[in-house]
């Protein structure tokens, strides 16, 4: 039996005239943290949407080795996508009247350090706080797979760093299989076990990250990945 | 140091609030006083414009005789029923066209065409069909109020943020949940805009309908008074229409702030 948790085989995705993905192959193990980096328009979001079953591939297959792939996969989008007419608890439980759901929502809000805001509305929060609520919401249904589509892009460097640690902590504790899309190679090197670079619709390049995450190692990996994305020109400038 | 700064700010705040409440009343009160004074000084003959006090007294005597309450309740009944029917149909049409692309293609352009006919132009036709009775007036109000509710419901529902709907789908909400948790609340502010606009249309339609084909209502009172040169009652009816319009708008507003409380919260409404 194939023990790959997520396997993407010969996937092609066509939008009208644009080929977003062409013959893409990628396997991800259970519990792995993969960062997806690449140029804008390279098809990262498209790949995530296929894994989340928000769209179907034109050709090829996306297989997830679990009973109910759809409900065990949750997406945290680039925008927080909270419902402004519901307070935080209801945003997590979608207004469920169930006591157990409400209790769980509060517990998760505590986890992202927003327990005191449980009865407030999203408009009363800062950008970073809203992203934490979105993270808590993604955890409501106990997913096995967490898909993060540039969720930290809009945050300032400090808040961003705190969110990175929070996400890492939660993913490790719950043994989540995580795919993080990011523009920031530094962030990718800091957080992931493995970095997948999407150079264009068809070309993937992979880089394994060292488990020892000190600043030096992160810098080396980030540089290598950046050179890979930008091609030789980057290296030439760097070492000229 | 800090105290001397903090104090004046505090003072300014306590002063501002009552002023906000008082300001809107200043113009009407000044107009009323000027009107009364001009009447008293004989600048305004009572055949042109009776004094406010005379109008008020007329109102009291008509209330005591039971004529005003009776006619008022008939007008209110027609207005409410017409709005409920028209608004209800408008909402349902807006809902199905907003939710289903097929329905939109099927109905929307025909409805838009029909909408461009001023509904008051239908009065002769409606009188010919239904006569000068209850159903004619209620139908006119219903036709007039249907379109603003339709357009705003349709627009509200079809312009709900697609990202939010996608989010709901990715969390596996059912169709019913998708509507009740996301689409309807998102469209509600726009629907309220339609309802408030429909309220205005409701009163104008009713006034015109009652004045043209009067039997027993405020419009009838006004017409009747006109025949007898009863200026007090003519003015009284106009004032009553103004008050009804204002009151219904206030009711709509208070519903709005009840259901849309979340809109007034937060940081971006400074
Ligand atoms: N719904 C769609 N309809 C048509 N074309 C689309 C659609 N979604 C994506 N595309 C196209 O597919 C390609 C890949 O888009 P995608 O959003 O996956 O890129 P991305 O790597 O996520 O980019 P970014 O980093 O800017 O978010 C782009 O050329 C885009 O124009
Ligand atoms: Mg993207």
Residue of A nearest to B188 (CA): A85
Residue B9 covered by a domain: no
Size of interface A-B (CB pairs under 8 A): 47
- Binned at pLDDT 50, 70 and 90, residue B6 comes out as very low
Contact assessment for residue B178 and residue A83, using Cβ atoms and an 8 Å cutoff: no
Residues of chain A neighbouring B268 (CB-CB closer than 8 A): 123
Residue B222 covered by a domain: no
Query: Is some CB atom of chain B closer than 8 A to the CB atom of A121?
Result: yes
Query: Is some CB atom of chain A closer than 8 A to the CB atom of B81?
Result: no
Q: State yes or no: pLDDT of B164 exceeds 90.
A: yes
Contact A94 B267 (CB under 8 A): no
Ligand 1: does its nearest atom lie under 6 Å from the Cβ of A45?
Answer: yes
- Binned at pLDDT 50, 70 and 90, residue A50 comes out as very high
- Binned at pLDDT 50, 70 and 90, residue B4 comes out as very low
Closest CA to A179 of A38, A23, A57, A51: A51
Query: Is some CB atom of chain A closer than 8 A to the CB atom of B172?
Result: yes
Q: State yes or no: pLDDT of B2 exceeds 80.
A: no
CATH classification code of A4-72+144-238: 3.40.50.300
Instruction: Please identify among residues 174-213 of chain A the ones whose CB lies closer than 8 Å to any CB of chain B.
Output: none
A6-15/A59-64 β-pairing: antiparallel
Contact assessment for residue B182 and residue B113, using Cβ atoms and an 8 Å cutoff: no
Residue of B nearest to A138 (CA): B171
Q: State yes or no: pLDDT of B250 exceeds 70.
A: yes
pLDDT in the model for residue B16: 60
Model confidence over B60-101: pLDDT tens digits?
Answer: 998 899 888 888 898 899 999 999 999 999 999 999 999 999
Residue identifier of the C-alpha nearest atom 4 of ligand 1: A15
| Min Cα–Cα distance to chain A from B165, Å | 9
* Interface predicted TM-score (ipTM): 0.85
pLDDT in the model for residue A230: 78
- Binned at pLDDT 50, 70 and 90, residue B8 comes out as very low
Residue B91 covered by a domain: yes
**CATH number of domain containing B97:** 1.10.3720.10
Percent of chain A with pLDDT over 70: 93
The string of DSSP codes covering B22-74 is HHHHHHHHHHHHHHHHHHHTTSS-TTT---HHHHHHHHHHHHHTTHHHHHHHH
Residue B260 covered by a domain: no
Residues of chain A neighbouring B169 (CB-CB closer than 8 A): 54
Query: Is some CB atom of chain A closer than 8 A to the CB atom of B25?
Result: no
Contact assessment for residue A181 and residue A149, using Cβ atoms and an 8 Å cutoff: yes
Residue B103 covered by a domain: yes
Instruction: Look up the domain containing B98 and give its range.
Output: 82-211
Contact assessment for residue A23 and residue A32, using Cβ atoms and an 8 Å cutoff: no
Average pLDDT over residues A48-77: 91
pLDDT in the model for residue B130: 84
| Rounded-to-integer distance, Cα A43 and Cα A25, Å | 13
- Binned at pLDDT 50, 70 and 90, residue B17 comes out as low
Model confidence over B192-229: pLDDT tens digits?
Answer: 999 999 999 998 898 888 877 666 677 777 777 777 66
Contact assessment for residue A92 and residue A109, using Cβ atoms and an 8 Å cutoff: yes
Residue B29 covered by a domain: no
Contact assessment for residue A46 and residue A192, using Cβ atoms and an 8 Å cutoff: no
pLDDT in the model for residue A220: 80
Contact assessment for residue B126 and residue B134, using Cβ atoms and an 8 Å cutoff: no
Residue B249 covered by a domain: no
Distance of CA B3 to the CA centre of its chain: 48
pLDDT in the model for residue B216: 63
Give me the number of domains chain B comprises: 1
């Amino acid at each position: 039996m194939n023990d790959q948790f997520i396997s993407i085989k010969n996937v092609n995705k066509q939008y009208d005239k644009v080929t977003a993905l062409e013959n893409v192959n990628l396997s991800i193990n259970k519990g792995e943290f993969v960062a997806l980096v690449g140029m804008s328009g390279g098809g990262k979001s498209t790949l995530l949407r296929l894994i989340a079953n928000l769209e179907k591939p034109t050709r090829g297959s996306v297989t997830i080795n679990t009973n109910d792939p759809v409900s065990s996969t949750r997406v945290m989008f680039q925008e927080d996508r909270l419902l402004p007419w519901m307070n935080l608890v209801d945003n997590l439980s979608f207004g469920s009247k169930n006591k157990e759901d409400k209790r769980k929502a509060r517990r998760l809000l505590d986890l992202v350090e927003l327990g005191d805001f449980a009865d407030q509305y999203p408009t009363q929060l800062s950008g970073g706080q809203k992203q934490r609520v979105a993270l808590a919401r993604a955890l409501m249904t106990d997913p096995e797979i967490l898909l993060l589509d540039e969720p930290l892009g809009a945050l300032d460097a400090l808040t961003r760093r705190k969110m990175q640690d929070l996400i890492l902590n939660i993913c490790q504790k719950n043994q989540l299989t995580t795919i993080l899309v990011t523009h920031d190679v530094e962030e990718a090197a800091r957080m992931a076990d493995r970095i997948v670079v999407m150079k264009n619709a068809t070309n993937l390049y992979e880089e394994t990250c060292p488990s020892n995450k000190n600043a030096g190692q992160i810098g080396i990996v980030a540089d290598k990945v950046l050179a890979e994305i930008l091609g030789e020109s980057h290296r030439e400038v760097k070492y000229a | 140091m800090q105290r001397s700064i903090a104090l004046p700010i505090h003072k300014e705040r306590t002063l501002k609030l009552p002023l906000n409440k008082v300001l809107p009343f200043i113009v009407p009160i000044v107009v009323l006083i000027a009107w009364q004074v001009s009447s008293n000084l004989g600048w305004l003959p009572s055949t042109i414009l009776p004094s406010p006090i005379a109008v008020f007294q007329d109102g009291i005597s008509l209330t005591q005789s039971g004529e005003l309450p009776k006619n008022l309740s008939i007008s209110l009944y027609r207005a409410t029923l017409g709005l409920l029917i028209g608004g209800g149909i408008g909402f349902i049409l807006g809902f199905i066209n907003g939710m289903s692309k097929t329905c939109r293609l099927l109905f929307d352009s025909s409805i838009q065409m029909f909408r461009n006919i001023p509904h008051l132009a239908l009065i002769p036709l409606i009188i010919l069909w239904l006569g000068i009775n209850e159903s004619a007036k209620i139908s006119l109000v219903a036709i007039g109020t249907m379109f603003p509710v339709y357009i705003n419901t349709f627009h509200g529902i079809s312009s709900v943020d697609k990202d939010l709907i996608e989010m709901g789908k990715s969390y596996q909400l059912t169709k019913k949940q998708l509507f009740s948790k996301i689409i309807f609340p998102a469209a509600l502010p726009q629907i309220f805009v339609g309802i408030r606009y429909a309220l205005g249309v409701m009163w104008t339609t009713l006034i015109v309908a009652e004045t043209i084909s009067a039997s027993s209502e405020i419009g009838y009172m006004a017409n009747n008074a006109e025949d007898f040169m009863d200026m007090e009652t003519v003015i009284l009816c106009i004032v009553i229409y103004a008050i009804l319009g204002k009151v219904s708008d206030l009711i709509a507003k208070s519903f709005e702030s009840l259901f849309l409380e979340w809109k007034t919260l937060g940081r971006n409404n400074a």
